[in-house]
């Protein structure tokens, strides 16, 4: 009888934990960029490098929060504060923001210098994965 109770308890716990999306960073398939580190990707999304054009998802998107936590080691609000300072001082312009992973893929597929992040399940031949977030 005890194994059944244990199994029921495990099942109950597993349904309480929200599923976390696996986030990947993508570029145009024609891009010369190969595998990247978190630090390299963070340079583009924190305004420290203009070699690639970052494509962001909406602030309300769960994949955005996951991306910033896992790849840049910052909360989305911290990243927004960094960008606000860069924009205010004229050192950078905000990343282009699109509605969802499908729009990120379209933007990246259309621009060889673009870099974005999407849920791993959305990957297809229109983009090249350069980082899978840990």
Give per-residue pLDDT as tens, 44-65.
999 999 999 999 999 999 999 9
pLDDT in the model for residue 47: 94
Is residue 59 domain-resident?
Answer: yes
Q: Containing domain of residue 80, as a range?
A: 21-132
Q: What is the percentage of the chain residues whose pLDDT exceeds 70?
A: 85
CATH number of the domain within which 105 lies: 3.40.190.10
Element (H, E) at 22: none
Is residue 73 domain-resident?
Answer: yes
Total of domains in the chain: 1
Is residue 123 domain-resident?
Answer: yes
Is residue 13 domain-resident?
Answer: no
Element (H, E) at 128: strand 128-132
Q: Environment class of residue 69 by beta-carbon count within 10 Å: exposed (0-12), middle (13-18) or buried (19+)?
A: middle
Q: What is the percentage of the chain residues whose pLDDT exceeds 90?
A: 80
Is residue 10 domain-resident?
Answer: no
Q: Report if pTM > 0.85.
A: no
pLDDT in tens, 70-124: 999 999 999 999 999 999 999 888 999 999 999 999 999 999 999 999 999 999 9
pLDDT in the model for residue 4: 58
Is residue 2 domain-resident?
Answer: no
**Comparing 54 with 20, which gets the higher pLDDT?**
54
- Provide DSSP, 33-68: -----HHHHHHHHTTS--SSEEEEPPTT-HHHHHHI
Is residue 100 domain-resident?
Answer: yes
| Residue 131 CA, distance from chain mean position | 10
Distance CA 116, CA 108 (A): 7
């Amino acid at each position: 009888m005890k194994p059944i109770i244990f199994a029921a308890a495990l099942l109950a716990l597993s349904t309480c934990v929200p599923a976390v999306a696996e986030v990947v960073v993508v570029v145009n398939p024609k891009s010369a960029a190969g595998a990247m580190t978190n630090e390299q990707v963070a340079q583009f999304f924190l305004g420290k490098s203009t070699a690639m054009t970052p494509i962001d998802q909406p602030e309300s998107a769960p994949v955005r929060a996951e991306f910033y936590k896992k790849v840049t080691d910052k909360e989305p609000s911290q990243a927004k504060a960094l960008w606000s300072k860069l924009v205010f001082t004229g050192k950078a312009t905000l990343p282009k923001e699109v509605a969802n992973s499908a729009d990120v893929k379209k933007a990246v597929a259309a621009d060889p210098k673009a870099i974005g992040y999407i849920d791993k399940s959305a990957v297809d031949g229109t983009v090249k994965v350069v980082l899978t977030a840990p």
